[in-house]
Copies of this chain bind each other. A is one copy, B any other.
Amino acid sequence: MPLQKVTREEIVKSSISVFRRKGYYRTSMANLAEEMDLTKGTFYHHFESKEDVMKEALKMSCGWFERRVFSVAYQDELSQENRLESMIQLTYKAFTAEEGGCFFANTILETSHVEDTFLHILRNFFKKWEDALAYMLMVTYSESKAHEVAKQIIAEIEGSIVLMQLHQDKTILQNALQRLKKRLG
């Protein structure tokens, strides 16, 4: 077997995990390198800057949500109820599987009043999420009302994640999602 070379993708994937746990400013390039058993020097061979890594991390994480969570909303062969139930399950797993809650909300509250660097990428994530929810809700509501409700759902989930982090208690998010299901189902 030839010498295994680390791919850019593998590095970004492991960096997501570190950024989620430690936040953006608290994470150093050394931390990111360690996670892949690399040195800082090697890391800088692959990426220009920490900002660069973070942008790719956010984009990859957003792509994952699109493929694994938001896509469910568009499976028209399933009933609305099934799609809703499925998205709720996947949402819960996505925000609790690893520590750190919502990578995107964390990044907003940490960086948005300091710099604009990631705002576009962050807004894109929330737009994709809103669109998916609204698409499902259009069975019941008008387009504009569906988007309004979708925004409220997202706010409720994110608020629950804040409280989940505060009390280190996953049932807070679980309960919030169950309430949403009841209200919408």
Binding site for B on A (CB under 8 A): 20-23, 25-26, 99-101, 105-106, 108-110, 112-114, 119, 122-123, 126, 151-152, 154-160, 162-163, 165-168, 176, 179
Contact = CB atoms under 8 A, between A and B. Distances in A.
A152 B126 CA distance: 21
8 contacts: A22-B114, A23-B113, A112-B165, A112-B168, A119-B166, A123-B166, A123-B167, A154-B159
Chain A interface main SS type: helix
B151 A163 contact: yes
Given A159-B158, A160-B159, A113 B100 contact: yes
A31 to B, nearest CB: 11
A163 B167 contact: no
Nearest to A98: B113
A182 to B, nearest CB: 13
B25 A165 contact: no
Contact of A155 (B20, B101, B108, B156): B156
Given A21-B114, A26-B110, 4 more contacts: A23-B25, A100-B113, A152-B179, A159-B162
A20 B179 CA distance: 32
A23 B110 contact: yes
Contact of A158 (B21, B99, B162): B162
Contacts of A21: 113-114
9 A-B pairs with the lowest CB-CB distances in the bound complex, closest first = A159-B159, A155-B159, A158-B159, A109-B109, A158-B162, A25-B25, A106-B109, A155-B160, A112-B165
Centre residue among A20, A126, A155 by max chain B CB count within 10 A: A155
A154 B160 CA distance: 9
A25 B166 CA distance: 18
A162 B114 contact: no
